[in-house]
Amino acid sequence: MAVDAGARGEKVTGAFIYRHIRQAIKEIGPSNVIQVITDNASNCASMAKKLEAEYPHIVWTPCASHCIDLLLENIGDVPWVKDILSQALSIVNFINKKVRVLAIYRTYSGLELKKPSATRFAAMWLLLECLYDVQTNLQKTMVSDEFKAWIEEETQSSQQDAKAIQWLCLKEEFWQEVKGLVMVVLPLYKVLRMTDMEGSTIGLLYHFMEEAYKEIERSTILDGAPDGSRDVLEDSPKRDDILFLVKKRWDWMRRPIHGFAALLHPAFKKPSIFADQALQEERDKYLPKILNEEHHGEFLQELINYGDQRGTAFASSVCWKRDSLVKPLFWWECFGYQLPHLQRVALRVLGQDCSSGACERNWSAYSLIHTKIRNKLFTKQLERLIYCRSNLRMLRSMHEMPMARQERSLLGQGPVKFSSHSPRMEALDMPAIFDLIICEKCSMLEFINDERKFWQLDRLLRDKGFFLWILETTNISNFSLSLESLQLHGWSYVSRVNDGVLFQKKH
């Protein structure tokens, strides 16, 4: 849903956001919604209170990617960390701004120095890691005859700056601090990458965050312990600074649904998980939201059976193989049939995302549609077009999922019928669903399998006020069926264009 938040008199308050979230929930159906993910701005937190008050079974969870990125930014604000980052940035800026120095550096290194990003603070840690990787090449640059000759030709102030950078690059303590900081932040960066990937389901987040915390807790290099030491230092101020921030952020973003999903993920199943008191408490908090009270007893008994691996399905050798465990939905569909209540709940919960990254990718669709050529489209038109494009891509991806049977077993309903979502496609007997393309004067949708082919027709589309369909034809039989169906519905053949066929229909 695209909303014109810049309209005159409108403020993006919690009530404003909730009004549109509520509209989307009603459109989908409240019983089909398990959670709402947003960033953790104050207006979104205000929206969450209204949401959970009206729909007690729906939970609000802050976007994990956004939270981890803010955590990395908080770590960067720690005074001793800020000093290291400032020194690293001074080296990168010096090398990149001096043309001759950059040319000298490139003779010793095949890797370019990364630059900071204005949008994501996580890029700063990539900069730091890249800088550590080229440590030797930087030091070779600083002691080379070419660099010394360049210094002699510069003004006195430039010489002072160059010598300061030279001293910093040759300072062993600086590189030790860089290495320690990279090793401590790396576990959090792994979590960030996981949350930003396709398939980053909610069942993974708890386990990744717990493992990241333990990995940071085991680190010793920041406070002067030898590299590779296995002894955990009891007094480690720098490490404790970071652990405090990690725990604070994790406690804030964590919701009962995270712990509940952690219990049901088969890849992390072990006795200690079911003995964890915090997870048991989160299970009890979330269970009433997703299951009727009369089924709680059956669910808990099935959960015990799952923990003890009772049942013939769990005796299968395939059941506990890694290839099965890493796909929790596939695992529960195949091996959870003896635990019907637990299976249904697991499929609903483990299919949830932990990040709103997929929604942010809709911005690329907006950029594609809202170009200079078509910048007169109103917000409502953009909303409709982006909505259709995103949902069509989702429907197409369901065909491509190797383990999906496209069933609504997650919701206790029958198989998905595409005609109920897009009756026009069934009526036209389309042989395939392709990406959505739009033009300035068309109020209907056009489909084409390759966006580049569309731009070759751009002038034609803008000059004609017709509705246009472009169908990719795979074989003669499919084409004949599609052509007959289109003609029955008032479409007329225009011409063949590249690998497709162009149809038109007057207003």
Tell me phi and psi for residue 188, to 5 degrees: -70, -35
Do 394 and 479 have their domain in common?
yes
Inside any domain, residue 9: no
CA 334 distance to own-chain centroid = 27
In terms of domains, do 105 and 47 share one?
no
Residue 441 and residue 318 share a domain: no
pLDDT score, position 461: 43
Strands 467-472 and 500-505: antiparallel
* Number of structural domains found in the chain: 4
Find, among 185, 210, 200, 268, the residue nearest to 63 by Cα: 200
Residues 339 and 460 placed together within one structural domain of the fold: no
**Residue 192 · residue 68 · CB < 8 Å:** yes
d(CA 246, CA 213): 7
Q: Which residues contact 263 (CB under 8 A, 6 or more apart)?
A: 273, 274, 279, 283, 303
Give residue 433's identity as a one-letter amino acid code.
I
Please identify every stretch of the chain with a pLDDT value under 70, giving residue numbers as ranges: 1-9, 118-120, 220-235, 323-324, 358-379, 382, 386, 389-390, 393-507
> Does residue 240 sit within a domain?
no
pLDDT at 479: 41
pLDDT digits (tens, 9 = 90+) for 48-79: 999 999 999 999 999 998 999 899 999 999 99
Is residue 204 included in any domain, yes or no?
A: no
Asked whether residue 83 is assigned to any structural domain, the reply reads yes
* Final residue before a domain boundary, out of 152, 170, 188: 170
Question: Is 242 within the bounds of a domain?
Answer: no
Asked if residue 337 and residue 378 are part of one domain, the reply reads no
Query: What tokens appear for 504 in the block?
Result: 């038109």
Same domain, 376 and 501: yes
Say if residue 45 is in the same domain as residue 157. no
- The reply to whether 365 and 498 lie within a common domain is yes
This prediction has a pTM of 0.71
Q: Are residues 273 and 375 in the same domain?
A: no
What pLDDT is stored for residue 4 in this prediction? 59
**Residue 321 included in any domain:** yes
Identify whether 92 is part of a domain.
Answer: yes
Together in a domain, 143 and 269: no
pLDDT digits (tens, 9 = 90+) for 282-338: 999 999 999 888 889 999 999 999 998 888 888 887 888 876 677 888 889 888 999
Task: Specify the pLDDT at position 450.
Answer: 42
Q: Are residues 339 and 443 in the same domain?
A: no
pLDDT at 313: 85
Residue 209's closest CA among 278, 120, 148, 298?
A: 278
For the chain, what is the largest distance between any 2 Cα atoms, rounded to a whole number of angstroms?
84
The domain in which residue 132 lies consists of: 77-170
Integer Cα distance of 362 and 341 in angstroms: 35
* Whether residues 431 and 381 fall in one domain: yes
Residue 232, in any domain of the structure: no
pLDDT of residue 142: 93
